[in-house]
Chains A and B, each alone.
Chain A
Amino acid sequence: MKLSVRFVGLTALATALVAACAPQTSGTSASDKDEKTGTVRVWLFQEVDNQPKQRVVDAVTAGFEAAHRGTDVTVEYIPVETRAQRVKAAFNDPKSAPDVIEYGNTDTAGYVRDGGLADVTREFNAWSEAKDTDPTARQSVTVDGKVYGAPYFVGVRALYYRTDVFRELGLRAPKSQAELISTAKRIRAAKPGLYGLAVGGAYTYGAMPFIWADGGDLATDKGGAYASAIDSPAARRGIEAYTSLFGDDNCPAAKCAGMGGNDTVTAFASGKAAMAIGGDFSHAAVEAGRVKGKYAVVPLPGVEPGSIAPAFAGGNNIGVLKSTSHRTLAVDLMKRLASKKTQGELFDAMGFLPTFTDVRQQAAVEKPYVKPFVRTLAAGTRFVPASPAWAQIDSSLVLPTMFQEIVSGRKDVAAASADAAKKMDDAFGAAR
């Protein structure tokens, strides 16, 4: 056996032969086809209790198929946690991509930069219902003045708590951040089987209100370029407060460090937690759980007694993919999925807050449980940096990693937040 010159030569030759070809970029340019029949594929998010959503959507697709002869709508419900991979893979391969997707409003800028979403400004402005869209929601589908979808619902989080447990222990709904934390620990001490406040190391949007309430922010906008502010003293106070909730005296790190938002809601709904930070969209799941009739919702308290912590203005949109070969049909389906009628039905079924101001007002009148969420919205909401880098920061788990490092005791708040700030700045820098 000779590892000879021949071997090396052959390898070199092979290398030279293939060196001519470089990886291609996919043409995620707009498809020139606009077919009026065929299959329209839709990806929607899988919710904690998805059945009611599915029923509303089924009705919409049935109506769509009846209106457009020769069409067929297939809907797939994808898990929120792994959406980034799925959606990106779809951008990479237009052939297998869906035509219509639901996406989180934090992803808008990233998806637009990736060239995945179709510009529907013309159709959106011509849509009679669009004028009632609330301005924040409209902002969440807009990048550089162009509209890339229709708002689907507004998501805002508040504090769910167990009225029966509170009554039994003689507690009242907390009015300040400090009281929230002490209440949580008192419950845990009295009832070791319950988490006081269910928190999750991977629950970024449950943790953000703590940071905002303490006067911190994720990043500051310095004239179009973002710089991370997660390691500022104010932000660190918020991180400190949130991470102090992990431990045997409230939510044991071994269980809670890995939990995400859905996990905390599931824990509350199944009666394993006395409090949880849940959204209006969690309403149906909690109602379907064991705690039905034994809970109430209040705005999440801020630092000052009686104040409301700024909530994250979440929400989802419905967009059309640039690569669709059924553009007209896809836009029509988008409008049907995000119409006033559908949003009203989704509100009834799932508790999703409508994005149309008039529909939302109507909803608040009909269903009093919406009140704390509307109050939270009115108290002022915050948003993640409107940079394409955010989608990457989010999918690289920068903030969950930071929280998990702290609660597992691997790093202190200062070190972990400094590391996170560095990673965020790298991402902002790359996106510039």
Chain B
Amino acid sequence: MSAVRGRTVRRPWRLAAEATALLVAAVVAFPLYWMLLGALKPAGEIESTEPRPWTASPSPASFRRVFEQQEFGRYFVNSLVVAVSVVIASALIAFLAATAVTRFRFRFRTTLLIMFLVAQMVPVEALTIPLFFLMRDLGQLNTLGSLILPHIAFSLPFAIWMLRGFVKAVPESLEEAAYLDGASRARFLWRILLPLVLPGLVATSVFSFISAWNDFLFAKSFIISDTSQSTLPMALLVFYKPDEPDWGGVMAASTVMTVPVLVFFVLVQRRLVSGLGGAVKD
């Protein structure tokens, strides 16, 4: 398609556009490049007042420092546990809810939809105060549960809203056919509908994954004394001391924290773009 469209654009303009695109790509990617570079530079080079955009002698010292000084591996696992739990739980719950609101008509359906939409707008951060007391009363402070539970709640409304489009897209004729074949409702739900909606679930999970993986405020407020339950953002800030930040350590820790999300993104990016289109359109 783009080839067809490309012909309609005059040549010098297209070359200029392509040059701009490459330039912008370089600028956008530069911070990530600098992060990786900072993580690999030896200590002397990173604290130099003449920063150079390359390094002749990359060293793993910063990475080693990160993993040795702090229990970084453990925090990494903690973060992963939180993000994966949130992704799975919110995907399943949202799938059920999205099915209910798209494939049934019942009282309060519209009301519920509006409430899901409104719920999306609730500023998570404003709820830190009551959630702190709630988690305390549930005895969840200092556990990963105090991060998992709120993030499930916060990613649900958007997930439901987004999945709606995917559930809707499954032709009703398919459902009728399934029932004619004698499939039970549960069988249809889990064996037929779920696999069909899977791409949508993947696209949705990107958002819940990111929100859980990024979480800083809750970790800061709820994981108070038990550092063994810390997640990556807090661990990263240990290297960022205002008086004398250990930039090499910060960059190495940042790299470790960014890579899994990048991998996840690259894996799902095709689904993501189509998923967004689906959600946005509906």
Q: Give A contacts to B, CB under 8 Å.
A: 1-4, 6-7, 10, 23-24, 26, 41, 43, 76, 79, 81, 86, 89-90, 92-93, 95-98, 258-260, 262-263, 266, 270
Check if B243 sits within 8 Å of A96, measured CB to CB.
no
Bound-complex Cα distance A98 to B130 (A): 23
A126: min CB distance to chain B, Å: 30
- Choose among B108, B115, B225 the residue that contacts A96 (Cβ–Cβ < 8 A): B225
Q: A23-B133, A86-B225, A259-B243 are known contacts; what are 5 more A-B pairs with Cβ within 8 Å?
A: A1-B114, A93-B142, A95-B142, A260-B243, A266-B244
Report if B136 contacts A (CB, 8 A).
yes
Check if A95 sits within 8 Å of B141, measured CB to CB.
yes
Query: Which residues of A have CB within 8 Å of B225?
Result: 41, 43, 76, 86, 89-90, 96-98
Residue of B nearest to A88 (CB): B224
B150: min CB distance to chain A, Å: 16
Bound-complex Cα distance A262 to B226 (A): 26
Query: Which residues of B have CB within 8 Å of A41?
Result: 225
Query: Which residues of B have CB within 8 Å of A26?
Result: 136
Of residues 126 through 143 on chain B, the ones whose CB sits less than 8 Å from some CB of chain A are: 130, 132-133, 136-137, 139, 141-142
Interchain residue pairs A-B with the least CB separation, the first 5: A96-B142, A263-B243, A89-B224, A93-B141, A96-B225
Report if B110 contacts A (CB, 8 A).
yes
Check if B108 sits within 8 Å of A6, measured CB to CB.
yes
Can you list 30 residue pairs at the A/B interface with Cβ under 8 Å? Answer: A1-B110, A1-B113, A4-B111, A6-B108, A6-B111, A7-B111, A7-B114, A10-B111, A24-B137, A26-B136, A43-B225, A76-B225, A76-B227, A79-B241, A81-B242, A86-B224, A89-B224, A90-B224, A92-B132, A92-B133, A93-B224, A95-B142, A96-B141, A96-B225, A258-B242, A259-B243, A260-B243, A263-B242, A266-B243, A270-B244
A162: min CB distance to chain B, Å: 19
Query: Which residues of A have CB within 8 Å of B242?
Result: 81, 258, 260, 263
Query: Which residues of A have CB within 8 Å of B139?
Result: 95
Bound-complex Cα distance A301 to B44 (A): 39
Instruction: Assign chain B's interface to a size class.
Output: 20 to 34
Residue of B nearest to A7 (CB): B111
Report if B211 contacts A (CB, 8 A).
no
Bound-complex Cα distance A73 to B242 (A): 30
Residue of A nearest to B225 (CB): A96
Interface flags for B83-100 (1: CB within 8 Å of A; 0: not) read: 000000000000000000
Bound-complex Cα distance A258 to B224 (A): 26
Bound-complex Cα distance A79 to B224 (A): 13
Residue of B nearest to A86 (CB): B224
Bound-complex Cα distance A180 to B28 (A): 49
Bound-complex Cα distance A3 to B117 (A): 13
Report if B255 contacts A (CB, 8 A).
no
- Choose among A1, A89, A262 the residue that contacts B221 (Cβ–Cβ < 8 A): A89
Query: Which residues of B have CB within 8 Å of A258?
Result: 242
Counting chain A CB atoms within 10 Å of each CB, which of B111, B114, B132, B142 scores highest?
B111
Query: Which residues of A have CB within 8 Å of B136?
Result: 26, 92-93
Query: Which residues of A have CB within 8 Å of B132?
Result: 89, 92
Query: Which residues of A have CB within 8 Å of B142?
Result: 93, 95-96
Query: Which residues of A have CB within 8 Å of B133?
Result: 23-24, 92
Query: Which residues of A have CB within 8 Å of B114?
Result: 1, 3, 7
Residue of B nearest to A1 (CB): B110
Check if B243 sits within 8 Å of A262, measured CB to CB.
yes
Query: Which residues of A have CB within 8 Å of B130?
Result: 23
Given the known interface contacts A26-B136, A259-B243, A263-B242, the answer about A96 and B224 at a Cβ–Cβ threshold of 8 Å is: yes
Bound-complex Cα distance A263 to B132 (A): 32
Bound-complex Cα distance A270 to B224 (A): 32
A302: min CB distance to chain B, Å: 29
B226: min CB distance to chain A, Å: 6
